[in-house]
Amino acid sequence: TTSRAHSRATQMETTPTLMSQARPHNESKTPADAIAALGRGTFHPSDLIPLSDLGRADAAAFRQVWPTLPEQTRITCVRYMAELAEDDVRYTFGRALRVALDDDSPIVRQLAISALWEDDGSDMIDRLLDMLAHDPSQDVRAEAAQGLGKFAERAAGEELDHEVATRLYQALVQVAQDDEQPLLVRRRALESVAVFGSDAVIVRLIMAAYDDDDTALKAGALYAMGRSLDLRWLPTVMNEFGSPDAELRYEAARASGQLGDDRAVPGLAYLAREEDVEVRHAAIDALGKIGGTSSVNVLRRLARSAPAADTEAIEEALEEALISLDALRLPT
């Protein structure tokens, strides 16, 4: 699994026209209807909407039927639920997706973790920690490490019980520094635990990953630098703007946006005009996050000359940058 993006969706192939296949939702449908559609093997995304916010009895019925379905049906079901939840905040498939966490297929388990990106129930911490420690699939362990990132943010912000936060921190650090773990798993653990910022252990782990010969691990270190919000990393991040490797330029751009320092603006202005579209968009997004007069001026110049493919990204970044600029101008 490679990665230039740390999005809510898993890095596995998805169906690009998924929601275009959806039919209007019939409000009279029940969870039993959705389960029956799965059993037939031919269903549309809207057929699964009754699986949102399942009651305990319906969740038990779903759990009983789930293992009897073909693997491809289970994969498609989880993908559909993920897109439905992302497209409409009314839909929450937490109970159904928890069933998928126990699936025999590592693909289904990985997709289910990714689909639970918005689920911040405290029970998910122990569930993901267990998968990180014991799942036989390295892709599932990596997804679990990434899924723990949102809980690490809460722990770093002292929003979790101290004992839980300590256990989470220690588990992620242990995996991040375990040379016997696959590089992808170590990378995801480092990226998640990096929110503990200037902690000496985190600094050491980021430095070690950045100095590694593996480009993917080095890219993860750059992403971790941004998540740490520690400005000691800004010179290193800006230095990677000139890297010959597009993934490193991409992660450096993203990290600079997280760090939010306007010293990165000139370098981002250059990256926002380069050939690689993902790097361009990462730089444009970072300019929006940094905000301030210099970012706004760069984005306005880009808006006058950028290709049509960049228009939406520039407009969104400019809107974000202007909000921060207006906030700076407010009287104190």
Pair 174, 180: CB distance under 8 Å: no
292, 298, 303, 309 alpha-carbon torsion, rounded to 10°: -100
Tokens of 66: 């789930």
Pair 311, 319: CB distance under 8 Å: no
Tokens of 182: 């696959």
pLDDT in the model for residue 13? 37
pTM: 0.88
DSSP, residue by residue, 148-162: THHHHHHHHTT-S-H
DSSP, residue by residue, 62-77: HHHHGGGS-HHHHHHH
Among 87, 81, 26, 18, which residue's Cα sits nearest to residue 54?
81
Other CB atoms within 10 Å distance of the CB of residue 161: 12
How far is residue 189 CA from its own chain's centroid?
A: 13
Pair 256, 220: CB distance under 8 Å: no
The two most distant CA atoms of the chain are separated, in Å, by 63
Pair 248, 225: CB distance under 8 Å: no
Tokens of 55: 């009651």
Cβ neighbours of residue 68 closer than 8 Å, sequence gap 6 or more: 39
Pair 81, 115: CB distance under 8 Å: yes
330 conformational bin, left if phi > 0, alpha if psi -120 to 50, beta if neither: beta
From CA 309, how far away is CA 142, in angstroms rounded? 32
Amino acid identity, residue 220? G
DSSP, residue by residue, 79-119: HHHHHHHHH-TT---HHHHHHHTT-S-HHHHHHHHHHTTT-
CA atoms within 13 A on the CB side of 65: 21
Tokens of 269: 């202005």
CA distances from 101 to 53, 143, 200, 211, 305 (A): 17, 12, 34, 35, 47
Tens-digit pLDDT string for the chain (332 aa) = 344 444 433 333 333 344 444 444 556 789 999 999 999 998 999 999 999 999 999 999 999 999 999 999 999 999 999 999 999 999 999 999 999 999 999 999 999 999 999 888 889 999 999 999 999 999 999 999 999 999 999 999 999 999 999 999 999 999 999 999 999 999 999 999 999 998 999 999 999 999 999 999 999 999 999 999 999 999 999 999 999 999 999 999 999 999 999 999 999 999 999 999 999 999 999 999 999 999 999 999 999 998 999 999 999 999 999 997 766 565 54
Cβ neighbours of residue 225 closer than 8 Å, sequence gap 6 or more: 194, 206, 210, 233, 236, 237, 255, 259
DSSP, residue by residue, 180-209: TS-HHHHHHHHHHHGGGTT-HHHHHHHHHH
pLDDT in the model for residue 220? 98
CA distances from 105 to 37, 40, 208 (A): 21, 20, 34
pLDDT in the model for residue 324? 79
Cβ neighbours of residue 203 closer than 8 Å, sequence gap 6 or more: 230, 232
pLDDT in the model for residue 3? 46
